[in-house]
Amino acid sequence: MSLLQEEREIILSNEFVESFDFAEVTEFVKNASKDLFISHHFKNKPKGKMLVQPRGGFPTYKKQFELSEFFVKSNVDVLPLTIDSNTRLNDYATAQKMLRLSEENDVDMLNGYPLINHGYRTTRKMFTHFNKPVSLRHGTPDARLLIETAIASGIFEIEGGPITYLLPYSKNFPLDKAFLYWKYVERVCANYSGLNEPINRESFGPLTATLVPPAITIVVQLLEMLLSLEEGVKSFSVSFAQQGSMMQDAVTSEVLMKMARHYAEEIDCGDAAINLVYHQWMGAFPTNKDYAEQLINMSTVIAKLVGADKIITKTREEAAGIPTKEANAKTVANTQYTLGILNGLPKIVDAEEEEILTLEVQAIMEAVFNDPADTLWRKVFNCIKNGIIDVPFSPHIINHNNMITIRDAQKNIRIIDRGNVPIPDRCFKYERAQCDLTKDTTSIVNDIVHDIGIMQ
Protein backbone atom coordinates (compact mmCIF):
# COMPACT_ATOMS: atom_id res chain seq x y z
CA MET A 1 0.00 0.00 0.00
CA SER A 2 3.03 2.25 -0.03
CA LEU A 3 2.82 3.43 -3.65
CA LEU A 4 -0.87 3.98 -3.10
CA GLN A 5 -0.09 5.91 0.05
CA GLU A 6 2.29 8.16 -1.85
CA GLU A 7 -0.32 8.88 -4.51
CA ARG A 8 -2.82 9.43 -1.77
CA GLU A 9 -0.76 12.17 -0.18
CA ILE A 10 -0.44 13.98 -3.49
CA ILE A 11 -4.18 13.87 -4.02
CA LEU A 12 -4.92 15.16 -0.56
CA SER A 13 -2.56 18.09 -0.78
CA ASN A 14 -5.21 20.41 -2.04
CA GLU A 15 -6.38 23.56 -0.33
CA PHE A 16 -10.06 22.53 -0.59
CA VAL A 17 -9.56 19.18 1.12
CA GLU A 18 -10.13 18.77 4.82
CA SER A 19 -7.45 16.84 6.68
CA PHE A 20 -8.04 13.10 6.43
CA ASP A 21 -7.82 10.97 9.55
CA PHE A 22 -7.40 7.56 7.90
CA ALA A 23 -7.22 5.67 11.17
CA GLU A 24 -10.59 7.09 12.11
CA VAL A 25 -12.02 6.39 8.63
CA THR A 26 -10.83 2.77 8.87
CA GLU A 27 -12.51 2.40 12.24
CA PHE A 28 -15.66 3.97 10.87
CA VAL A 29 -15.85 1.59 7.89
CA LYS A 30 -15.05 -1.39 10.11
CA ASN A 31 -17.92 -0.62 12.47
CA ALA A 32 -20.37 0.89 9.99
CA SER A 33 -23.92 -0.43 9.96
CA LYS A 34 -24.39 -3.23 7.41
CA ASP A 35 -27.45 -1.34 6.17
CA LEU A 36 -25.15 1.24 4.61
CA PHE A 37 -23.60 -1.38 2.32
CA ILE A 38 -25.55 -2.05 -0.86
CA SER A 39 -23.47 -5.22 -1.26
CA HIS A 40 -25.09 -6.45 1.95
CA HIS A 41 -28.56 -5.73 0.54
CA PHE A 42 -27.77 -7.45 -2.75
CA LYS A 43 -26.66 -10.52 -0.84
CA ASN A 44 -29.64 -10.68 1.54
CA LYS A 45 -32.60 -9.39 -0.43
CA PRO A 46 -35.41 -11.84 -1.22
CA LYS A 47 -35.02 -13.53 -4.61
CA GLY A 48 -36.56 -11.40 -7.32
CA LYS A 49 -36.70 -8.23 -5.20
CA MET A 50 -35.25 -5.28 -7.07
CA LEU A 51 -33.70 -2.32 -5.28
CA VAL A 52 -35.09 1.03 -6.39
CA GLN A 53 -32.80 4.02 -6.75
CA PRO A 54 -33.76 7.45 -8.01
CA ARG A 55 -31.39 10.18 -9.19
CA GLY A 56 -30.73 13.47 -7.44
CA GLY A 57 -28.27 15.92 -5.99
CA PHE A 58 -28.50 19.47 -4.60
CA PRO A 59 -25.71 21.88 -3.71
CA THR A 60 -26.46 22.60 -0.06
CA TYR A 61 -26.39 20.16 2.82
CA LYS A 62 -29.85 21.27 3.83
CA LYS A 63 -31.48 20.58 0.48
CA GLN A 64 -29.63 17.29 0.01
CA PHE A 65 -30.80 16.23 3.46
CA GLU A 66 -34.38 17.15 2.62
CA LEU A 67 -34.18 15.25 -0.66
CA SER A 68 -32.87 12.15 1.11
CA GLU A 69 -35.55 12.44 3.79
CA PHE A 70 -38.20 12.71 1.10
CA PHE A 71 -36.84 9.64 -0.67
CA VAL A 72 -36.78 7.61 2.53
CA LYS A 73 -40.43 8.49 3.09
CA SER A 74 -41.32 7.25 -0.39
CA ASN A 75 -39.79 3.86 0.34
CA VAL A 76 -36.51 4.20 -1.53
CA ASP A 77 -34.03 1.31 -1.32
CA VAL A 78 -30.89 3.18 -2.34
CA LEU A 79 -30.20 6.90 -1.91
CA PRO A 80 -28.42 8.68 -4.75
CA LEU A 81 -25.77 11.32 -4.36
CA THR A 82 -25.20 13.10 -7.65
CA ILE A 83 -22.10 15.28 -7.81
CA ASP A 84 -22.02 18.71 -9.48
CA SER A 85 -20.14 19.21 -12.74
CA ASN A 86 -17.41 21.47 -11.34
CA THR A 87 -16.40 18.78 -8.89
CA ARG A 88 -16.45 16.26 -11.75
CA LEU A 89 -13.81 18.37 -13.47
CA ASN A 90 -11.87 18.68 -10.17
CA ASP A 91 -12.58 22.43 -10.10
CA TYR A 92 -13.19 22.69 -6.37
CA ALA A 93 -12.64 26.45 -6.31
CA THR A 94 -15.62 27.13 -8.52
CA ALA A 95 -17.67 24.54 -6.67
CA GLN A 96 -16.81 26.32 -3.41
CA LYS A 97 -17.87 29.69 -4.76
CA MET A 98 -21.12 28.34 -6.17
CA LEU A 99 -21.87 26.44 -2.99
CA ARG A 100 -21.52 29.63 -0.97
CA LEU A 101 -23.80 31.50 -3.38
CA SER A 102 -26.34 28.69 -3.17
CA GLU A 103 -26.30 28.80 0.62
CA GLU A 104 -26.57 32.57 0.81
CA ASN A 105 -29.25 33.06 -1.82
CA ASP A 106 -31.35 29.93 -1.60
CA VAL A 107 -30.88 29.43 -5.34
CA ASP A 108 -29.21 26.28 -6.64
CA MET A 109 -26.02 27.38 -8.37
CA LEU A 110 -24.73 23.82 -8.84
CA ASN A 111 -26.29 20.80 -10.54
CA GLY A 112 -25.28 18.44 -7.76
CA TYR A 113 -23.64 18.02 -4.35
CA PRO A 114 -20.05 19.34 -4.11
CA LEU A 115 -18.80 16.50 -1.93
CA ILE A 116 -15.20 17.69 -1.58
CA ASN A 117 -16.27 21.09 -0.31
CA HIS A 118 -18.75 19.67 2.16
CA GLY A 119 -16.18 17.15 3.31
CA TYR A 120 -16.61 13.68 4.73
CA ARG A 121 -17.17 14.64 8.37
CA THR A 122 -20.28 16.61 7.48
CA THR A 123 -21.60 14.29 4.79
CA ARG A 124 -21.19 11.20 6.94
CA LYS A 125 -23.64 12.69 9.45
CA MET A 126 -26.33 12.77 6.80
CA PHE A 127 -25.97 9.21 5.62
CA THR A 128 -25.45 7.52 8.97
CA HIS A 129 -28.60 9.37 10.01
CA PHE A 130 -30.69 7.78 7.23
CA ASN A 131 -28.86 4.44 7.46
CA LYS A 132 -29.65 3.54 3.85
CA PRO A 133 -27.10 2.55 1.21
CA VAL A 134 -25.92 5.49 -0.89
CA SER A 135 -24.77 5.36 -4.49
CA LEU A 136 -22.29 7.93 -5.78
CA ARG A 137 -23.20 9.20 -9.25
CA HIS A 138 -20.65 11.49 -10.81
CA GLY A 139 -18.99 11.26 -14.26
CA THR A 140 -15.50 12.16 -13.09
CA PRO A 141 -12.44 11.01 -15.07
CA ASP A 142 -10.14 11.63 -12.10
CA ALA A 143 -12.28 10.54 -9.18
CA ARG A 144 -9.49 9.62 -6.76
CA LEU A 145 -10.12 12.33 -4.19
CA LEU A 146 -13.87 12.05 -4.65
CA ILE A 147 -13.86 8.33 -3.85
CA GLU A 148 -11.65 8.74 -0.80
CA THR A 149 -14.09 11.33 0.47
CA ALA A 150 -17.13 9.27 -0.48
CA ILE A 151 -16.08 6.13 1.37
CA ALA A 152 -15.08 8.18 4.42
CA SER A 153 -18.61 9.64 4.26
CA GLY A 154 -20.28 6.23 4.38
CA ILE A 155 -21.00 6.01 0.66
CA PHE A 156 -20.27 2.40 -0.18
CA GLU A 157 -21.26 2.22 -3.81
CA ILE A 158 -19.24 3.97 -6.48
CA GLU A 159 -20.50 4.30 -10.03
CA GLY A 160 -18.34 4.83 -13.08
CA GLY A 161 -15.27 3.56 -14.83
CA PRO A 162 -12.48 4.65 -17.15
CA ILE A 163 -14.43 3.89 -20.33
CA THR A 164 -18.03 4.51 -19.37
CA TYR A 165 -17.38 7.85 -17.69
CA LEU A 166 -15.07 9.07 -20.43
CA LEU A 167 -16.34 8.13 -23.86
CA PRO A 168 -19.87 9.53 -23.48
CA TYR A 169 -18.91 12.83 -21.82
CA SER A 170 -15.51 14.08 -22.84
CA LYS A 171 -13.94 15.19 -26.11
CA ASN A 172 -10.30 14.90 -25.22
CA PHE A 173 -9.59 13.92 -21.62
CA PRO A 174 -6.61 11.53 -22.01
CA LEU A 175 -7.95 8.02 -21.81
CA ASP A 176 -4.70 6.48 -20.57
CA LYS A 177 -4.72 8.78 -17.58
CA ALA A 178 -8.32 7.84 -16.88
CA PHE A 179 -7.37 4.18 -16.71
CA LEU A 180 -4.67 4.92 -14.14
CA TYR A 181 -6.92 7.19 -12.05
CA TRP A 182 -9.59 4.50 -12.00
CA LYS A 183 -7.01 1.85 -11.10
CA TYR A 184 -6.47 3.89 -7.94
CA VAL A 185 -10.20 3.98 -7.30
CA GLU A 186 -10.49 0.21 -7.67
CA ARG A 187 -7.63 -0.33 -5.23
CA VAL A 188 -9.09 1.97 -2.62
CA CYS A 189 -12.43 0.22 -2.92
CA ALA A 190 -10.70 -3.16 -2.69
CA ASN A 191 -8.71 -2.18 0.36
CA TYR A 192 -11.74 -0.97 2.27
CA SER A 193 -13.67 -4.08 1.24
CA GLY A 194 -11.82 -6.28 3.69
CA LEU A 195 -12.97 -4.32 6.72
CA ASN A 196 -16.69 -4.99 6.69
CA GLU A 197 -19.04 -5.76 3.78
CA PRO A 198 -17.46 -5.08 0.38
CA ILE A 199 -17.66 -1.69 -1.32
CA ASN A 200 -19.75 -2.12 -4.49
CA ARG A 201 -18.51 -0.77 -7.79
CA GLU A 202 -20.96 -0.15 -10.59
CA SER A 203 -20.25 0.41 -14.25
CA PHE A 204 -22.26 2.88 -16.31
CA GLY A 205 -23.76 0.75 -19.07
CA PRO A 206 -25.89 3.33 -20.90
CA LEU A 207 -22.77 4.95 -22.45
CA THR A 208 -24.05 7.50 -24.98
CA ALA A 209 -27.59 6.09 -24.72
CA THR A 210 -27.79 6.48 -28.49
CA LEU A 211 -28.07 3.37 -30.63
CA VAL A 212 -25.22 1.57 -28.87
CA PRO A 213 -25.47 -2.09 -29.95
CA PRO A 214 -25.65 -4.68 -27.15
CA ALA A 215 -22.32 -6.25 -28.16
CA ILE A 216 -20.46 -2.99 -27.41
CA THR A 217 -22.38 -2.39 -24.21
CA ILE A 218 -21.60 -5.88 -22.95
CA VAL A 219 -17.91 -5.79 -23.90
CA VAL A 220 -17.44 -2.48 -22.11
CA GLN A 221 -19.25 -3.82 -19.03
CA LEU A 222 -17.14 -6.95 -18.98
CA LEU A 223 -13.88 -5.04 -19.36
CA GLU A 224 -14.63 -2.53 -16.62
CA MET A 225 -15.67 -5.42 -14.40
CA LEU A 226 -12.42 -7.28 -15.06
CA LEU A 227 -10.34 -4.14 -14.46
CA SER A 228 -12.10 -3.77 -11.13
CA LEU A 229 -12.01 -7.40 -10.01
CA GLU A 230 -8.32 -7.77 -10.85
CA GLU A 231 -7.59 -4.99 -8.34
CA GLY A 232 -9.47 -6.91 -5.66
CA VAL A 233 -13.00 -5.51 -5.76
CA LYS A 234 -15.45 -8.16 -4.46
CA SER A 235 -18.84 -6.77 -5.43
CA PHE A 236 -19.54 -5.36 -8.87
CA SER A 237 -22.65 -4.27 -10.74
CA VAL A 238 -22.82 -4.43 -14.50
CA SER A 239 -25.54 -2.29 -16.03
CA PHE A 240 -27.36 -1.34 -19.17
CA ALA A 241 -30.24 0.91 -20.14
CA GLN A 242 -33.52 0.10 -21.83
CA GLN A 243 -32.72 -0.30 -25.51
CA GLY A 244 -36.13 0.00 -27.16
CA SER A 245 -36.84 -3.67 -27.83
CA MET A 246 -37.94 -5.97 -25.01
CA MET A 247 -36.46 -8.98 -26.73
CA GLN A 248 -33.09 -7.31 -27.11
CA ASP A 249 -33.12 -6.26 -23.46
CA ALA A 250 -33.86 -9.83 -22.40
CA VAL A 251 -31.11 -11.29 -24.58
CA THR A 252 -28.65 -8.60 -23.50
CA SER A 253 -29.29 -9.37 -19.85
CA GLU A 254 -28.89 -13.09 -20.40
CA VAL A 255 -25.64 -12.83 -22.34
CA LEU A 256 -24.20 -10.11 -20.10
CA MET A 257 -24.72 -12.07 -16.89
CA LYS A 258 -23.54 -15.39 -18.34
CA MET A 259 -20.39 -13.84 -19.77
CA ALA A 260 -19.70 -11.78 -16.66
CA ARG A 261 -19.67 -14.92 -14.53
CA HIS A 262 -17.59 -16.73 -17.13
CA TYR A 263 -14.88 -14.08 -17.37
CA ALA A 264 -14.82 -13.51 -13.62
CA GLU A 265 -14.07 -17.23 -13.20
CA GLU A 266 -11.40 -17.00 -15.88
CA ILE A 267 -9.37 -14.56 -13.78
CA ASP A 268 -10.06 -16.53 -10.59
CA CYS A 269 -12.47 -13.98 -9.22
CA GLY A 270 -15.47 -16.29 -9.12
CA ASP A 271 -15.98 -15.36 -5.48
CA ALA A 272 -16.95 -11.78 -6.36
CA ALA A 273 -20.66 -10.93 -6.33
CA ILE A 274 -21.93 -9.72 -9.70
CA ASN A 275 -25.18 -7.76 -9.82
CA LEU A 276 -27.31 -6.45 -12.64
CA VAL A 277 -28.51 -2.85 -12.78
CA TYR A 278 -31.12 -1.65 -15.27
CA HIS A 279 -31.53 2.01 -16.22
CA GLN A 280 -34.96 3.23 -17.19
CA TRP A 281 -34.90 4.72 -20.70
CA MET A 282 -31.93 7.08 -20.97
CA GLY A 283 -32.70 8.54 -24.39
CA ALA A 284 -34.88 11.48 -25.27
CA PHE A 285 -38.11 11.58 -23.28
CA PRO A 286 -41.57 12.64 -24.43
CA THR A 287 -42.47 16.15 -23.31
CA ASN A 288 -45.98 14.94 -22.45
CA LYS A 289 -45.57 14.05 -18.77
CA ASP A 290 -48.31 11.43 -18.83
CA TYR A 291 -46.51 9.67 -21.64
CA ALA A 292 -43.25 9.95 -19.70
CA GLU A 293 -44.92 8.03 -16.89
CA GLN A 294 -46.02 5.29 -19.28
CA LEU A 295 -42.47 4.95 -20.52
CA ILE A 296 -41.13 4.80 -16.97
CA ASN A 297 -43.62 2.13 -15.97
CA MET A 298 -42.77 0.09 -19.04
CA SER A 299 -39.08 0.33 -18.15
CA THR A 300 -39.87 -1.06 -14.71
CA VAL A 301 -41.76 -4.00 -16.19
CA ILE A 302 -38.85 -4.80 -18.49
CA ALA A 303 -36.34 -4.46 -15.64
CA LYS A 304 -38.17 -7.16 -13.76
CA LEU A 305 -38.50 -9.33 -16.87
CA VAL A 306 -34.73 -9.20 -17.39
CA GLY A 307 -34.08 -9.98 -13.73
CA ALA A 308 -32.34 -6.79 -12.62
CA ASP A 309 -31.10 -6.50 -9.02
CA LYS A 310 -31.47 -2.71 -9.04
CA ILE A 311 -33.31 -0.19 -11.15
CA ILE A 312 -32.37 3.45 -11.59
CA THR A 313 -35.38 5.61 -12.18
CA LYS A 314 -36.36 8.60 -14.28
CA THR A 315 -39.17 11.07 -13.60
CA ARG A 316 -42.14 12.45 -15.50
CA GLU A 317 -40.27 15.75 -15.65
CA GLU A 318 -37.30 14.25 -17.50
CA ALA A 319 -37.84 16.23 -20.70
CA ALA A 320 -38.16 19.48 -18.77
CA GLY A 321 -34.83 19.52 -16.93
CA ILE A 322 -33.87 18.79 -13.32
CA PRO A 323 -36.87 17.10 -11.68
CA THR A 324 -38.42 18.28 -8.42
CA LYS A 325 -38.05 16.09 -5.39
CA GLU A 326 -41.78 15.46 -5.51
CA ALA A 327 -41.55 14.08 -9.04
CA ASN A 328 -38.62 11.93 -8.00
CA ALA A 329 -40.41 10.57 -4.96
CA LYS A 330 -43.52 9.86 -7.01
CA THR A 331 -41.51 7.71 -9.40
CA VAL A 332 -40.03 5.79 -6.48
CA ALA A 333 -43.46 5.08 -4.99
CA ASN A 334 -44.91 4.14 -8.39
CA THR A 335 -41.97 1.88 -9.19
CA GLN A 336 -42.24 0.10 -5.85
CA TYR A 337 -45.95 -0.40 -6.40
CA THR A 338 -45.39 -1.79 -9.90
CA LEU A 339 -42.68 -4.16 -8.70
CA GLY A 340 -45.07 -5.36 -6.01
CA ILE A 341 -47.88 -6.25 -8.41
CA LEU A 342 -45.65 -7.64 -11.14
CA ASN A 343 -45.75 -11.38 -10.64
CA GLY A 344 -45.41 -14.66 -12.46
CA LEU A 345 -42.58 -13.67 -14.73
CA PRO A 346 -42.48 -15.75 -17.87
CA LYS A 347 -39.44 -17.46 -19.29
CA ILE A 348 -38.18 -15.66 -22.36
CA VAL A 349 -36.15 -17.33 -25.05
CA ASP A 350 -34.49 -16.44 -28.28
CA ALA A 351 -31.77 -18.98 -28.85
CA GLU A 352 -30.67 -17.53 -32.18
CA GLU A 353 -30.34 -13.97 -30.92
CA GLU A 354 -28.51 -15.19 -27.86
CA GLU A 355 -26.08 -17.18 -29.97
CA ILE A 356 -25.38 -14.29 -32.33
CA LEU A 357 -24.78 -11.84 -29.49
CA THR A 358 -22.58 -14.30 -27.62
CA LEU A 359 -20.42 -14.85 -30.69
CA GLU A 360 -20.04 -11.10 -31.19
CA VAL A 361 -19.03 -10.48 -27.60
CA GLN A 362 -16.58 -13.40 -27.62
CA ALA A 363 -14.97 -12.17 -30.81
CA ILE A 364 -14.43 -8.65 -29.49
CA MET A 365 -13.18 -9.90 -26.12
CA GLU A 366 -10.76 -12.23 -27.87
CA ALA A 367 -9.45 -9.36 -29.98
CA VAL A 368 -8.88 -7.35 -26.80
CA PHE A 369 -7.08 -10.20 -25.05
CA ASN A 370 -4.94 -10.76 -28.18
CA ASP A 371 -3.66 -7.21 -28.14
CA PRO A 372 0.08 -7.44 -27.52
CA ALA A 373 0.14 -4.97 -24.58
CA ASP A 374 1.25 -6.29 -21.19
CA THR A 375 -1.67 -5.24 -18.98
CA LEU A 376 -5.39 -5.44 -19.46
CA TRP A 377 -5.91 -1.69 -19.28
CA ARG A 378 -3.33 -1.11 -21.99
CA LYS A 379 -4.98 -3.75 -24.17
CA VAL A 380 -8.34 -2.03 -23.71
CA PHE A 381 -6.81 1.37 -24.36
CA ASN A 382 -5.26 0.12 -27.60
CA CYS A 383 -8.50 -1.48 -28.71
CA ILE A 384 -10.44 1.73 -28.26
CA LYS A 385 -7.69 3.58 -30.10
CA ASN A 386 -7.72 1.18 -33.04
CA GLY A 387 -11.52 0.90 -33.22
CA ILE A 388 -11.89 -2.69 -32.07
CA ILE A 389 -14.16 -1.09 -29.50
CA ASP A 390 -16.23 1.65 -31.10
CA VAL A 391 -18.99 3.44 -29.21
CA PRO A 392 -21.60 5.05 -31.47
CA PHE A 393 -22.07 8.77 -30.87
CA SER A 394 -19.16 9.17 -28.48
CA PRO A 395 -17.83 12.73 -28.67
CA HIS A 396 -14.32 11.60 -27.69
CA ILE A 397 -11.57 12.10 -30.29
CA ILE A 398 -10.08 8.68 -29.56
CA ASN A 399 -13.30 6.91 -30.51
CA HIS A 400 -13.49 5.76 -34.13
CA ASN A 401 -17.17 6.40 -34.82
CA ASN A 402 -17.09 4.12 -37.79
CA MET A 403 -19.65 1.68 -36.56
CA ILE A 404 -23.15 2.50 -37.83
CA THR A 405 -26.29 1.12 -36.23
CA ILE A 406 -29.98 1.43 -37.01
CA ARG A 407 -33.13 -0.17 -35.69
CA ASP A 408 -34.92 -3.01 -37.43
CA ALA A 409 -38.71 -3.23 -37.67
CA GLN A 410 -38.92 -4.62 -34.13
CA LYS A 411 -36.72 -1.73 -32.93
CA ASN A 412 -33.73 -3.96 -32.22
CA ILE A 413 -30.46 -2.08 -32.62
CA ARG A 414 -28.55 -3.63 -35.55
CA ILE A 415 -25.03 -3.10 -36.83
CA ILE A 416 -25.05 -2.19 -40.51
CA ASP A 417 -21.44 -0.96 -40.69
CA ARG A 418 -19.00 -2.63 -38.33
CA GLY A 419 -16.10 -0.24 -38.82
CA ASN A 420 -13.06 -1.89 -37.29
CA VAL A 421 -15.02 -3.88 -34.70
CA PRO A 422 -14.36 -7.61 -35.24
CA ILE A 423 -18.00 -8.65 -35.58
CA PRO A 424 -17.85 -12.17 -37.07
CA ASP A 425 -19.07 -12.39 -40.66
CA ARG A 426 -21.93 -14.69 -39.80
CA CYS A 427 -23.21 -12.31 -37.13
CA PHE A 428 -22.75 -9.26 -39.33
CA LYS A 429 -24.72 -10.93 -42.09
CA TYR A 430 -27.46 -11.76 -39.59
CA GLU A 431 -27.58 -8.19 -38.26
CA ARG A 432 -27.83 -6.69 -41.73
CA ALA A 433 -30.42 -9.24 -42.80
CA GLN A 434 -32.82 -7.86 -40.19
CA CYS A 435 -32.77 -4.40 -41.79
CA ASP A 436 -34.03 -2.82 -44.95
CA LEU A 437 -30.77 -1.77 -46.58
CA THR A 438 -32.13 -0.94 -49.99
CA LYS A 439 -32.57 2.67 -48.92
CA ASP A 440 -30.10 5.42 -49.80
CA THR A 441 -27.97 7.06 -47.13
CA THR A 442 -30.27 10.06 -46.84
CA SER A 443 -33.15 7.78 -45.90
CA ILE A 444 -30.91 5.91 -43.48
CA VAL A 445 -29.92 9.18 -41.81
CA ASN A 446 -33.62 9.99 -41.51
CA ASP A 447 -34.16 6.53 -40.02
CA ILE A 448 -31.40 7.13 -37.48
CA VAL A 449 -32.97 10.44 -36.46
CA HIS A 450 -36.25 8.60 -36.06
CA ASP A 451 -34.61 5.69 -34.25
CA ILE A 452 -33.06 8.01 -31.68
CA GLY A 453 -36.41 9.62 -30.97
CA ILE A 454 -38.54 6.46 -30.78
CA MET A 455 -39.93 7.21 -27.35
CA GLN A 456 -41.05 10.76 -28.13
Partner 1 sequence: MKVVTGVVGNDIHVVANRLIDLSLRARGFDVFNLGVNTYLEEFFDAAVETGADVILISSLNGEAEGWGREVRAIKSRYKTLDDIIMMIGGNLVVGSGNAEDIEPRYKNYGFDIVCHQIDLNTGLDMLEEFIKERNNP
Q: What does 442 interact with, of partner 1, its own copies, none (CB < 5 to 8 A by kind)? A: partner 1
Q: What does 380 interact with, of partner 1, its own copies, none (CB < 5 to 8 A by kind)? A: none
Contact 388, 420 (CB under 8 A): yes
Q: What does 301 interact with, of partner 1, its own copies, none (CB < 5 to 8 A by kind)? A: its own copies
Contact 79, 64 (CB under 8 A): no
Contact 244, 284 (CB under 8 A): no
For residues 247 and 234, give the distance between their C-alpha atoms in angstroms, rounded to a whole number.
31
Q: What does 12 interact with, of partner 1, its own copies, none (CB < 5 to 8 A by kind)? A: none
Interface residue with its own copies among 75, 287, 294, 443 (CB under 8 A) is 294
Interface residue with its own copies among 13, 19, 23, 346 (CB under 8 A) is 346
Q: Is residue 46 involved in binding its own copies (CB under 8 A)?
A: no
Q: What does 397 interact with, of partner 1, its own copies, none (CB < 5 to 8 A by kind)? A: partner 1
Contact 430, 360 (CB under 8 A): no
Q: Is residue 169 involved in binding partner 1 (CB under 8 A)?
A: yes
- Count residues contacting its own copies (CB under 8 A)? 38
Interface residue with its own copies among 298, 319, 322, 452 (CB under 8 A) is 298
What b/e string do you get for 27-59 counting C-beta neighbours within 10 Å, with b at 16 or more?
ebbeebeeebbbbbbbeeeeeeebbbbbbbbbb
What b/e string do you get for 12-23 counting C-beta neighbours within 10 Å, with b at 16 or more?
beeebbeebeee
Q: Where are the beta strands (DSSP E) in 173-324?
A: 200-202, 235-241, 273-279, 310-312
Q: Check if 431 is active-site.
A: no
Give the active site residue among 159, 231, 318, 360. Answer: 159
User: Which 437-456 residues touch its own copies, going by CB under 8 A?
Assistant: 454-455
Q: Check if 159 is active-site.
A: yes
What pairs with residue 52 in β-bridges?
311
CB within 8 Å of 187: residues ≥ 6 apart: 4, 231, 232
* CA R_g for the chain: 21
Interface residue with partner 1 among 74, 82, 196, 210 (CB under 8 A) is 210
Nearer to its own copies, 346 or 372 (CB): 346
CA-closest candidate to residue 20, choices 140, 128, 151: 151
- Strands of 235-241's sheet, edge to edge? 51-53, 310-312, 273-279, 235-241, 200-202, 157-159, 134-137, 79-82
What pairs with residue 388 in β-bridges?
none
Contact characters 415-454, partner 1, x per CB under 8 A: -------------------------xxx-xxx-xx--x--
Q: What does 395 interact with, of partner 1, its own copies, none (CB < 5 to 8 A by kind)? A: partner 1
Q: Is residue 405 involved in binding its own copies (CB under 8 A)?
A: no
Interface residue with partner 1 among 307, 395, 419, 424 (CB under 8 A) is 395
Catalytic positions are 88, 159
Per CB under 8 A, residues contacting its own copies are: 244-250, 286, 288, 290-291, 293-295, 297-298, 301, 305, 330, 333-334, 337-338, 341-350, 410-412, 454-455
Residues that bind partner 1 (CB under 8 A): 169, 171-172, 208, 210, 392-395, 397, 401, 404, 440-442, 444-446, 448-449, 452
